[in-house]
Amino acid sequence: MGITERKEREKKELRKLILATAARLFLEQGYEKTSMRNIAEAIEYSPTTIYLYFKDKNELFYALSEEGFRKFFSYVNNISEELAPMDQLKELGKVYLQFASDHPAYYELMFILKEPMESEQTAESWDLGMKSHGVLTTIVNQCIKEGHFKDQSPDVVAFMIWSFVHGAVSFKICDRMKMYDNLNHDYLINDSLKFMNHLLEKN
Amino acid sequence: MGITERKEREKKELRKLILATAARLFLEQGYEKTSMRNIAEAIEYSPTTIYLYFKDKNELFYALSEEGFRKFFSYVNNISEELAPMDQLKELGKVYLQFASDHPAYYELMFILKEPMESEQTAESWDLGMKSHGVLTTIVNQCIKEGHFKDQSPDVVAFMIWSFVHGAVSFKICDRMKMYDNLNHDYLINDSLKFMNHLLEKN
Amino acid sequence: MGITERKEREKKELRKLILATAARLFLEQGYEKTSMRNIAEAIEYSPTTIYLYFKDKNELFYALSEEGFRKFFSYVNNISEELAPMDQLKELGKVYLQFASDHPAYYELMFILKEPMESEQTAESWDLGMKSHGVLTTIVNQCIKEGHFKDQSPDVVAFMIWSFVHGAVSFKICDRMKMYDNLNHDYLINDSLKFMNHLLEKN
Amino acid sequence: MGITERKEREKKELRKLILATAARLFLEQGYEKTSMRNIAEAIEYSPTTIYLYFKDKNELFYALSEEGFRKFFSYVNNISEELAPMDQLKELGKVYLQFASDHPAYYELMFILKEPMESEQTAESWDLGMKSHGVLTTIVNQCIKEGHFKDQSPDVVAFMIWSFVHGAVSFKICDRMKMYDNLNHDYLINDSLKFMNHLLEKN
DNA sequence: AATGAATGAGAGTTCATTCAT
DNA sequence: AATGAATGAACTCTCATTCAT
């Protein structure tokens, strides 16, 4: 009884270890340069072992992306519905930046990398992605109900906002902020979010 | 006389062919999966030949990025200074989207890909990038002079706008717009730009 | 139990096979022209397999040289200490020629080839080399104690003797004896050793 | 008239430049790593140009070796015949060491390297080699006539002496004297030659 | 006399993956 | 559950060499 459970637990733990290590290496070196061997070495198991947990490199990275989406949803789904819609929107922006800052490797995998995404994502990732995006849409719709964003399609509003945060975060993750090297990058991103909020509020 | 010139021309053309092919393959398959061999096969020359034009793979992709920045600047630098600053800003947004749409491979190389950018870019790329960004900054400053974006730092305003267009374009290039598959993606992007312009105008 | 041992044995055997084949090819074609692929083909394994046993080409040839030094020491260390010092010296000369004749590939690697020796040798090779040379020095010292080589530094005597045998052997291995094609090369070498012994004895 | 001569002179000079550069590079990097391109770059001509002077890499190195033998003979042939035979022998040893010290690249090519010697040497090299060796044989024969090396075959004596100097020189050129790193290598070589001379004299 | 353009062959090495155990 | 052994395919890059000019 206890034995089976322990084994199960250990198995899950190794799976997690593989995922975590893959995420780390992939952030450090990029997808293509992160080899199965690298991961295996890092966790001190044989490369073959990884194949017991994941069919191939693609599947490993799909699983990684899935984990990312799960984490992402837990960030995004945490917004108090008691706040005014516009405040929820602001909060969502904050939380989005926070996720990207906490988990840049996952962010890159989920939203930037093309490499392993050629085949379709897992159903679960898709689902979680949709649900996360649903949070944004819902809030935007509530804002509109309250009189904001007059005459705008909710999709357009949502996409605009999302594009902005994604763009800001992408610049940072893709290391394209050297142009602003005299400024503190995080401050700049935060201030631009404030400016965006400012624009939205008055509308 | 004429002979030398013809040869020179042919050489430049082969160089261009290599660059164009590299750009295409790289857009289709990503940087790491685009091999020197692939490129050579595609242009029906031997791999060795490429090395006559570019020292190594890195240099090929630096040259590519440089060409991208040159093209980019020619788009961005083409905005009539006779327009009102806010109209110049709108025009700049349009032109930015246009560039990304015309040259997605260059865009990805210049603004998204991490892989070969780890080492420094060429001085010329950097220069052109700065100059292009200068166009945005200049326009924003003129807008501010005319009373827009009250109490905002020009850097923050510029970064916010740029983040937005970059985010929108990135979604498309990185194939992350499946969520909006019921809508026409280009329309969505254009409409979101209009919305952004709308917000900026009233400010 | 037995299985593990068998596997271990097989692994060692493949390692030896690689070394032996590398030694042979290298003698036939030289270091630079002996490619990992050549070796792999000769042993009918894939090139990749070699990399399971040796990190890279350098390491393969270091291992080879190490094996050579081990063998060499086993030749040189086999001289009966009950013989008179001068007889030991003669015996050492014989044994030296014998090693070079039995293992010309190793000899070349250890004493002639410059190519892969630029980086340092392994500690073990160096050690064995020193110990082997120590045998010569010891014998020379005993000869001196017995009244030979009056007023000579042992280092000079040792170096002179060693230079001679090395020169003779090198001519043969480097295929530079065509000048004596009317004579039997091995006889010539042996006779020259006898002449050397004759000179030393009377001193 | 003068023009043709100048051109001829220039051609010879370029040939010499190629040879000299090849010799230098080959000493610095070894035969295999000295590429036609390397040489071409060093002399600031195109690789193709070298092929106007030498059919291929082999022929270039044959020519090099030929030049080496010419130089070598000029060293060896310079021994005053007025000296006593034994003194001539001593002088020959000195001169041999001198040549190896002055032109290690040539020495290596002529007496050590196997690589490009697979095909036969040029007739001229062979001839010069024979003549050089003839100098040694002649002197040895004169010594024998004067009562030295009783009961020894001149070939054996010559070969023994030559083996010794070759061995000593080879150790140095092949960088195998690390065992004597506490001693000055050149002194060691010279002293060993003195010891050899001492042995021969008393015989 | 000299070169620029081009190439086939091959180098060392790494990769994702499989199979038997 | 985990591994050691092995491999085919691919990678970047360099080489000696040729040909047209």
- Interval B159-198: pLDDT, tens: 999 999 999 999 999 999 999 999 999 999 999 999 999 9
What's residue D119's pLDDT?
55
Q: What is the DSSP letter of C202?
A: T
The confidence score (pLDDT) of residue A57 equals: 93
Q: Could you give the CA distance from residue B16 to residue B71 in angstroms, rounded to a whole number?
A: 13
CA distance C37 to C30: 14
pLDDT band at C123 (very low <50, low <70, confident <90, very high): confident
Distance B46 CA to E7 C1' (A): 6
Is the dihedral angle over the CA atoms C184, C185, C189, C195 positive or is it negative? positive
Chains B and A touch (3+ CB pairs under 8 A): yes
Residue whose entry in the numeric block shows the structure tokens 């010329």? B124
Q: What's residue B120's pLDDT?
A: 63
Task: Mutation target for D interface from C96, C135, C170: give the one with most D CBs within 10 A.
Answer: C170
Cα distance between residue B108 and residue D20, in whole Å: 51
- The radius of gyration computed from the CA coordinates of chain B, to the nearest angstrom, equals 20
- The strand F neighbours among B residues 35-64, by Cβ under 7 Å, are 35-38, 47-48, 51, 56-58
Selected residue of C72, C89, C199 to mutate for chain D interface (largest D Cβ count, 10 A): C199
By the 10 Å C-beta count (0-12 exposed, 13-18 middle, 19+ buried), D175 is classed as: exposed
pLDDT digit string (tens) for D25-36? 988 888 888 999
Instruction: List the structure tokens of C154.
Output: 């042992």
Given this model, what pLDDT does residue D30 score?
A: 84
| Of residues B97, B83, B197, the one with CA closest to residue B142 | B83
Mean pLDDT score, D21-49: 92
Helices (H) and strands (E) in chain B, counts: 9, 0
Which partners does chain A have (≥3 C-beta pairs < 8 Å)? B
For C131-180, write each residue's pLDDT tens digit: 999 999 999 999 999 999 999 999 999 999 999 999 999 999 999 999 99
Residue of A114, A129, A175 lying closest to B174 (CB–CB)? A114
- With bands split at pLDDT 50, 70 and 90, how would you rate the model's confidence at B5? confident
Q: What is the pLDDT of residues D114-151, one digit of tens each?
A: 876 655 667 889 999 999 999 999 999 999 999 999 99
Q: State the amino acid at position C105 in one-letter form.
A: A
The whole-number pLDDT of residue B117 equals: 62
Which positions in chain A touch B200 (Cβ < 8 Å)?
199
| Interface contact B195-A32, CB threshold 8 A | no
DSSP annotation of B122 reads P
Residue C114 to residue A9: CA distance in whole angstroms? 57
* pLDDT score, position B203: 82
Is pTM beyond 0.95? Reply is: no
- Structure tokens of C47? 């090139």
Task: Report the nearest residue to nucleotide F21, CA vs C1'.
Answer: B3
Q: Provide the pLDDT for residue A8.
A: 81
Tell me the C-alpha distance between D153 and C187, whole Å. 12
- Across the range B40-68, mean pLDDT stands at 95
- Which is higher by pLDDT, D167 or B5? D167
- Of the two residues C60 and A1, the one the predictor is more confident about is C60
pLDDT at residue A152, as a whole number: 97
DSSP state, B110?
Answer: I
CA–CA separation, D180 and D183 (whole Å): 5
Number of Cβ pairs < 8 A linking chain A and chain B: 119
Do C146 and C200 contact (CB within 8 A), yes or no?
no
Query: Where do we find the tokens 């995922």?
Result: A19
pLDDT of residue B149: 97
How many CB atoms are closer than 10 A to CB A12?
11
Q: Is the pLDDT of residue B1 over 70?
A: no
Structure confidence by residue, pLDDT tens digits, D184-200: 999 999 999 999 999 99
Let me know: does C63 contact C90? Beta carbons within 8 Å: no
Q: What is the pLDDT of residues B29-40, one digit of tens each?
A: 888 899 999 999
Q: How far is the CA of B55 from the C1' of F15 (A)?
A: 16
The answer to whether B36 touches B59, Cβ cutoff 8 Å, is: no
Question: pLDDT at residue A117 above 70?
Answer: no
Helices C85-102 and C57-76 sit at what angle, rounded to 10 degrees? 150
Q: By percentage, how much of chain C surpasses pLDDT 70? A: 97
How far is B136 from B158, CA to CA, in rounded Å?
Answer: 7
Whole-number average pLDDT of chain B: 93
pLDDT at residue B9, rounded to an integer: 86
Of C184, A108, C108, nearest in space to B176 by CA? A108
What's the pLDDT score for residue D133? 97
Q: What is the pLDDT, as a whole number, of residue A120?
A: 61
Does residue B43 register a pLDDT over 90? yes
User: How high is the pLDDT of residue D2?
Assistant: 76
Mean of pLDDT over chain D: 93
pLDDT band of residue A27 (cuts 50, 70, 90) is: confident
pLDDT at position C120 over 70: no
- pLDDT tens digits for range B64-74: 999 999 999 99
Place of tokens 């904050």: A94
Q: What distance in Å separates residue A12's CA from the closest CA in chain B?
A: 30
Q: What is the pLDDT of residue D164?
A: 98
In angstroms, the CA C66 to CA C125 distance is 5
What is the pLDDT, as a whole number, of residue A11? 85
Chains contacting B (3 or more CB pairs within 8 Å) = A
How confident is the model at residue D134, as a pLDDT?
97
The encoded tokens of residue A173 equal 């993750």
Chains C and A touch (3+ CB pairs under 8 A): no
Give residue A32's pLDDT: 86
Q: Looking at beta carbons, which residues of chain C come within 8 Å of D160? A: 164, 168, 192, 195-196
Which residues, 6+ apart, have CB-to-CB distance to B194 below 8 Å?
Answer: none
The Cα–Cα gap between B112 and A170 comes to 8
Q: Identify the residue whose Cα has the smallest distance to the C1' of E9.
A: B48
What is the model's pLDDT at position D142? 98
The answer to whether D16 CB sits below 7 Å from nucleic acid chain E is: no
Q: Report whether C160 contacts D164 (CB < 8 A).
A: yes
Q: Mutate which of D136, D157, D199, D202 to disrupt the C interface (most C C-beta within 10 Å)?
A: D199
- Give the pLDDT confidence score for residue D91 in this predicted structure: 98
Helical axes A123-145 vs A154-173, angle rounded to 10°? 120
Give the pLDDT of residue A31: 85
Separation between Cα atoms, residue C58 and residue C60, nearest integer Å:
5
- How far apart CA D116 and CA C175 sit, in angstroms, is 12
State residue B118's pLDDT score: 54
Collapsed DSSP state (helix, strand, coil) of residue A56? coil
- Statement: the CB of A45 is under 7 Å from strand E: no
Return residues 29-58 of C near D (CB < 8 Å): 30-33
The pair of structure tokens assigned to C75 is: 């030749």
Task: Give C149's DSSP letter.
Answer: S
Please report residues of D whose CB lies closer than 8 A to that of C152: 195
* Whether the Cβ atoms of residue A189 and residue A166 lie closer than 8 Å to each other: no
pLDDT digits 0-9 by tens, A125-180: 999 999 999 999 999 999 999 999 999 999 999 999 999 999 999 999 999 999 99
Rounded Cα–Cα distance for residues D195 and D192 (Å): 5
Q: How many residues are recorded in chain D?
A: 203
Q: How many CA atoms lie within 13 A of C89 on its CB side?
A: 27
Q: Which residue is nearest to nucleotide F13 (CA to C1')?
A: B56
Poorest-pLDDT segment among B48-57, B67-76, C115-124: C115-124
Instruction: Indicate if the pLDDT at residue A47 is higher than 70.
Output: yes
Residue D48: pLDDT over 80? yes
Per-position DSSP letters for C107-168, written without gaps between them: HIIIII--GGGSSPPPHHHHHHHHHHHHHHHHHHHHHHHTT-STT--HHHHHHHHHHHHHHH
C50-67 pLDDT tens trace: 999 999 999 999 999 999
Question: Can you read off the two tokens belonging to residue A45?
Answer: 């198991």
Round to whole Å and give the CA distance between B130 and C186.
77
Task: Round to whole Å and give the CA distance between B98 and B89.
Answer: 14
- Strand F: which residues 32-91 of C lie within 7 A (CB)? 45-49, 51-52
Q: Are D170 and D189 in contact (CB under 8 A)?
A: no
What angle (nearest 5°) sits at the alpha carbon of residue B40, between those of residues B38 and B44?
A: 120
Mean pLDDT score, D94-123: 86
The residue written with tokens 């020169």 in the block is C167
Taking only residues 106 to 125 of chain B, the set having a beta carbon closer than 8 angstroms to any beta carbon of chain A reads 111-115, 117
* Per-residue pLDDT at A116: 66
Confidence of residue D93 (pLDDT cuts 50, 70, 90): very high
Lowest mean pLDDT among A180-194, C119-133, D164-178: C119-133
Residues 168-187 of A with CB under 8 A from B: 168, 170-171, 174-176, 179-180, 183
Instruction: Quickly state the pLDDT bin for B134 (edges 50, 70, 90).
Output: very high
| Token code pair at residue B60 | 């090929």
- Across D71-103, b (16+ Cβ under 10 Å) vs e yields bbbebbeebeeeeebbebbbbbbbbbbebbeeb
**pLDDT at D64 (0 to 100):** 92
- Pairwise CB contact (< 8 Å): D170 & C170: yes
pLDDT of the residue at C119: 57
